[in-house]
Structure 1
């Protein structure tokens, strides 16, 4: 099992079969001003257009732009409806500003290894369900209550699956893909890239209710350490963001469908409802989940053989 992604060579007539997705940033236009312009487009689509869509959802459900008066269905849509616009901003920036294929945000190969995405999903789901869900129940059984309205859960589940897939994939394309590639133009050092991605991922999540409820411990473990740092490191090790895409989806979909707790960003009719948010347990359990996940991802599962590289027309571009 290889932990190190073998670097290839870029350019006309050269081998790129083993190139990493970070190197793929140089297959298009990559001067600094392009990343600044790309970021402006992405932030406009995410924060301005996406927020406008959220306000429209609030008006549609309650007649006023107030998140707190919405029912669970409305609150979920309010939070999630901006992500398709966020995704559109990322795709526009990469294709029009950087003039390269959006696939290069994930891999330098010609197609995504959905097998590896699935491995990430399974490798994270197993310890999360055992430690994060079952373990929490064993420690705090009195705070758990079963949601008897299974009809509402069944109706809500398809919506949650679709929007969660859009949300987590978009965040991976941006934070693990675009941000890491942009930072690599400044300094292609793995420690630097991991820290930059972790910090930038943490910043917008500071406004989440969990950050306020759980304090610095939740901010460090739930945002900086796990999704920010660990998921970036495995992406740099693999040379693709495939594993992280599967992990992120597993993390959020299980969080949404398994447990609904007060003080969380999204309220959904999950299978179980908690009477309180156990911030300390959630934070400390991450320290147990991480090594189990790494053992499954790199000892149990094996990486696929590299597929064909992205076509030459998508590899070459001036700065």
Structure 2
């Protein structure tokens, strides 16, 4: 059917109310079983199709040795750049699965995972990037350097770093955007079909996000502090809450990218998933030890500063035109 545009209002069932991306879950085809089917498609394309395709792509570029390395998840054997790309290639398939689920199963525009407006506000995405990048890398990053300078080492191979920067920008953007579309987009929208309570909508993706990262090396090294602060509370809960407040996932997309690109370009922890899991990215600085307590406690300062910048320095944008499939 033809897309109808209205000014700041949802076309049917919510006249007089500003539409949010959560309400967009009720557009198109939205019965509960469609979300279950959508999840099956997302994981099938991401895990099964991706699991079949990635080793074969590795074989084309690196022969039998690369194929064997990918099959045993030894990304370090592929080199810094090759291992980095191979580790994140699966997100391309997860992204494809999300797009298939939204367009074919729900029959609505993939943009509705981000906003109910006609266009995504890249300005708001950029604001999210700045609002998070500044406090997290000044407080959690620079502060850690002053407290534990002996654990920091500088990467003198600036040629490799310069070549790595554009690759990191592309693949980290794919990774973080895919995670946002899934956790704060698709999961929140699917949960809203069950119950529209905001506390429920905030807790569901936060819990799933934390559980999905339990196998990360940092979770084992940092214990419950890392799992609670660095996975459940901040990325999971805080970023979901700001998405519900904004009515879009634009801010969270920028925040997530700022968080991960810093860990892949500025300061990486040796052997951490932020730095590339089994392979370490050629960051400017490498930290030999993960300081779980400092990282967790620094979030108590980073989050308020982030909120002050996001909603004080930068103003939340007012709703504009939205699209509705009737």
Fold conserved between structures, TM > 0.5: yes
TM-score, with normalisation over the residues of structure 1? Answer: 0.91
| Residue pair 1:116, 1:243 contacting (<8 A) in 2 also | yes
In structure 2, how many angstroms separate the alpha carbons of the residues matched to 1:13 and 1:292?
Answer: 35
| Residue pair 1:25, 1:182 contacting (<8 A) in 2 also | yes
TM-superposed deviation, 1:9? 4.7
| Residue pair 2:38, 2:101 contacting (<8 A) in 1 also | yes
Q: Report the equivalent of 1:141.
A: 149
1:13-50 deviations in Å (ceiling 9; x for gaps): 9456x201000111111111101100000011122222
Q: Report the equivalent of 1:254.
A: 262
TM-superposed deviation, 1:8? 4.8
SS of residue paired to 2:299: helix
TM-superposed deviation, 1:290? 0.6
Q: Report the equivalent of 1:82.
A: 90
| Residue pair 2:9, 2:321 contacting (<8 A) in 1 also | no
Give the 4+ runs in structure 1 shifted more than 6 A: none
Residues 1:201 and 2:202 are matched in the alignment = no
Q: Unpaired segments of 5 or more residues in structure 2?
A: 1-7
TM-superposed deviation, 1:305? 3.2
TM-score, with normalisation over the residues of structure 2? Answer: 0.89
Q: Report the equivalent of 1:3.
A: none
1:260-289 deviations in Å (ceiling 9; x for gaps): 222301120000011212222222211211
In structure 2, how many angstroms separate the alpha carbons of the residues matched to 1:52 and 1:229?
Answer: 34
Residues 1:218 and 2:231 are matched in the alignment = no
In structure 1, how many angstroms separate the alpha carbons of the residues matched to 2:294 and 2:52?
Answer: 36
Residues 1:37 and 2:45 are matched in the alignment = no
| Residue pair 1:165, 1:249 contacting (<8 A) in 2 also | yes
1:90-169 equivalence runs, <5 A: 90-169=98-177
TM-superposed deviation, 1:57? 5.5
1:90-145 deviations in Å (ceiling 9; x for gaps): 01000100011111101111001111111100000110121121111001001111
The aligned length equals 306
TM-superposed deviation, 1:10? 4.2
